[in-house]
Chains A and B, each alone.
Chain A
Amino acid sequence: AQSVTQLGSHVSVSEGALVLLRCNYSSSVPPYLFWYVQYPNQGLQLLLKYTTGATLVKGINGFEAEFKKSETSFHLTKPSAHMSDAAEYFCAVVRNSGGSNYKLTFGKGTLLTVNP
């Protein structure tokens, strides 16, 4: 069964610093992987996704993630943090929930704080 582990429930960076949010997955088959962002009092918004093809995936707001099969990782990065990036970030993997039913399984989330 596929599952997701996000390392670090809280990450704090300075404005302008590199953002690195870690996600590892377990999967017996090639995975479909996603990153979502949730701003305060809002729903989750898709940042980027990996399905097949290029392993470096670019998303919205300058974020990108690299699928590394050998490390079973899909870490999210952004070269320079902005104050507006402060939010909670969720990694997710598609999981078979029985028969031909598939659903996303989410990690527990990482809260990103950006300090001025």
Chain B
Amino acid sequence: DSGVTQTPKHLITATGQRVTLRCSPRSGDLSVYWYQQSLDQGLQFLIHYYNGEERAKGNILERFSAQQFPDLHSELNLSSLELGDSALYFCASSVGAVYGYTFGSGTRLTVV
């Protein structure tokens, strides 16, 4: 157990639907990072939050949004889902990037 908790582990949904992925960071970590991993695109950085504030955006689609709550957990919202959104979504947390990240076990999203 890495200390980073992601739920659900698996999610199957239909095109056009909206889903919410949840991440609880390791105790004491203020930063949360979201990544998408697929066979064709590899590991893609989506977004970074620090203590409730958005700090950096990567290759995140406009259909996707995220937030970090006062208790530091984070949610990634994916809407108007397309088949191509099927992927593993990882959350990672950190006290600071120079110390490295701790990753959760991921949410596998399948869009049918």
Binding site for B on A (CB under 8 A): 32, 34, 36, 41-46, 49, 51, 90, 94, 97-98, 101-106, 108-109
If over half of B's interface residues share one DSSP class (helix, strand or loop), that class is named, otherwise mixed; here it is strand
Contacts A44-B90, A94-B98, A104-B100 known; list 13 others, CB within 8 Å. A36-B103, A41-B108, A42-B106, A43-B4, A43-B103, A45-B2, A98-B56, A101-B56, A102-B96, A102-B97, A103-B33, A104-B33, A106-B45
Report B61 CB to chain A, min CB distance, Å. 19
Q: How many chain B residues touch A (Cβ–Cβ < 8 Å)?
A: 23
Q: Which residues of chain A have C-beta atoms less than 8 A from B92's C-beta?
A: 44
Q: A42-B105, A97-B56, A101-B55 are in contact. Are A109 and B43 (CB under 8 A)?
A: yes
Query: Which residue on chain B has the smallest CB distance to residue A49?
Result: B100
Which of B2, B48, B50, B56 contacts A43 (CB under 8 A)? B2
Query: Which residue on chain B has the smallest CB distance to residue A93?
Result: B97
Q: Which residues of chain B have C-beta atoms less than 8 A from A108's C-beta?
A: 42-43
Binding site for A on B (CB under 8 A): 2, 4, 33, 42-43, 45, 48, 50, 55-56, 90, 92, 96-98, 100-106, 108
28 contacts between A and B (CB under 8 A): A32-B97, A32-B98, A34-B100, A42-B105, A43-B4, A43-B90, A43-B103, A43-B105, A43-B106, A44-B92, A44-B101, A44-B103, A45-B2, A45-B103, A51-B98, A94-B97, A94-B98, A97-B56, A101-B48, A101-B50, A102-B97, A103-B33, A103-B56, A104-B33, A105-B45, A106-B43, A108-B43, A109-B42
Are B96 and A103 interface neighbours, CB within 8 A?
Answer: no
Q: Which residues of chain B have C-beta atoms less than 8 A from A101's C-beta?
A: 48, 50, 55-56
Are B101 and A97 interface neighbours, CB within 8 A?
Answer: no
Report A30 CB to chain B, min CB distance, Å. 11
Q: Which residues of chain A have C-beta atoms less than 8 A from B106's C-beta?
A: 42-43
Q: Report how far A41 CA is from B105 CA in the complex, Å.
A: 8
Q: Which residues of chain A have C-beta atoms less than 8 A from B2's C-beta?
A: 43, 45
Q: Report how far A69 CA is from B58 CA in the complex, Å.
A: 28
Which of B50, B90, B101, B105 contacts A104 (CB under 8 A)? B101
